[in-house]
Amino acid sequence: ASAPTSSQELAIPNDFIGCIIGRQGSKINEIRQVSGAHIKIASATDGSAMRQVTITGSPTSISVAQYLINALEMAKYTMQAASSAATVDLNMGFSQSTPTASTAATSMAVLAATTPAPTTINVHSPSTLSAIQNPHYAIPVSSLLGMKSLPVLAVHPAAASSLTQGLSPYTAKMTTSGVKKSERQKFAPY
């Protein structure tokens, strides 16, 4: 108990758990490594189409893990919304959640870009840790749900400018229709 670890549990629908785990667990393992948190996904809950996910680690690790999971979840949610956009249109506020999703996905790339090694994300890299575990901002879980802009973006103005370039084609394509297949791969770079 030398490390200030805590734990957080959240329920993920069965439809989303596949996206979060990824093929052969590639995505969840990536999340485990980049967040430094222990993530346990229980077997399918009988009766409720939910998988119990337990995240254990430092508060920061938990925040990062939850952020990544939320980003993937939101990406899938946006995709499903686009499928049934003919019925629900954008009145549910997806016009706001959509750019947030792209920001979240790109933030992962920012975290990855912070590491010197392009192949695998090294959690023990000092540069990565200083970026994630900066004591100046403790990421409250509540802000993750309301994700407006990630503090990381404020710390990396250069990265933010490159983000703007990457977001431009997104905004251009978000014309209520025509959002179907190729876009979702950009949402899930893992």
Tell me the closest approach of the beta carbon of residue 171 to DNA, in angstroms: 22
Of the pair 18, 151, the CB lying nearest DNA is at 18
Distance of alpha carbon 176 from alpha carbon 89, whole angstroms: 8
Of the pair 41, 109, the CB lying nearest DNA is at 41
Under 8 Å CB-to-CB from 43, ≥6 apart: which residues? 51
Backbone angles phi, psi at 22, to 5 degrees: 80, 175
Tell me the closest approach of the beta carbon of residue 114 to DNA, in angstroms: 24
Exposure string for 1-24, b = 16+ CB within 10 A, e = fewer: eeeeeeebebebeeebbebbbbee
Please check whether residue 4 is in contact with residue 61, taking contact to mean a CB–CB distance below 8 angstroms: no
Of the pair 52, 133, the CB lying nearest DNA is at 52
Of the pair 3, 158, the CB lying nearest DNA is at 3
Of the pair 21, 159, the CB lying nearest DNA is at 21
Tell me the closest approach of the beta carbon of residue 18 to DNA, in angstroms: 3
Tell me the closest approach of the beta carbon of residue 79 to DNA, in angstroms: 6
| Angle between helix 94-114 and helix 59-83 axes, rounded to 10 deg | 140
Distance of alpha carbon 11 from alpha carbon 25, whole angstroms: 18
Residue listed under structure tokens 């030398």: 2
Tell me the closest approach of the beta carbon of residue 173 to DNA, in angstroms: 17
Contacting residues toward DNA, per CB under 7 A: 14-15, 17-19, 21-25, 27-29, 32, 38-43, 51, 76, 79, 83, 184, 188
Amino acid at the residue 137:
Y
Tell me the closest approach of the beta carbon of residue 38 to DNA, in angstroms: 6
Of the pair 31, 150, the CB lying nearest DNA is at 31
